[in-house]
Amino acid sequence: MRLGADDVTRSLRASWRLLSADSRALPDLDLSRDGFWRSYLALVLTVPAIIPILAAERVLAGLPNTAGLFDAPVLLASVIAAELLAVITVPALLIMLAPGLLHSPRYTGFIIAWNWASILSAGLIAVPAAVFALGWSNAGIATFQALAFGAIVLRLRYCVARAAFGPQSGIAGAIACASLLADYAIIRSFGLAGF
């Protein structure tokens, strides 16, 4: 199974279109079985976003970034684990609450769109994290910026759920709220600030 540059470009463009509530972008994603597994492979693309997030968390923890980003393995593991859990928690909760969804094409489409949107989400959150890590903002401004970018991520998640399950199902708002609560719980359980 390969992930080509065309797949990445098309899928990220579709994720961006989903952000504008364009549910017609969903079929632009590869909704096949191979596309399902490639969407998980694509999560490797979140790695570049983890670097500014890690740098921002290091600053908040009082660790200098000049010594190297990877000299605090517990913090590194916490950031990586939090990023991964942020992707898998809501889909796992949906299966726990409604096991019948597992064989639904709508759920498969949701997972594919969710995974690709997670790459975009990580990139959006990396922006205020990078600004803070570089010293271009203080903790108060960084918090406001992270909340603003977080609101965009929340809208993206809502739009993904709405495109996958339909506007009349009412599940999109519940998924967006669940993702917000899950992110907060994950951040707090790892003792992170929330970038």
Domain borders along the chain are 5-189
pLDDT band per the 50, 70, 90 thresholds, residue 1: low
pLDDT for the residue numbered 3: 72
pLDDT digits (tens, 9 = 90+) for 39-63: 998 889 999 999 999 999 999 988 8
Long-range own/partner contacts, residues 39-42 (CB < 8 A, 24 or more apart): 39/11, 39/111, 39/112, 39/115, 39/116, 40/115, 41/1, 41/3, 42/3, 42/7, 42/8, 42/11, 42/115, 42/116, 42/119
Mean pLDDT of 72-98: 92
pLDDT for the residue numbered 90: 93
pLDDT for the residue numbered 170: 81
pLDDT digits (tens, 9 = 90+) for 61-77: 888 888 788 888 999 99
pLDDT digits (tens, 9 = 90+) for 105-136: 899 999 999 999 999 999 999 999 999 999 99
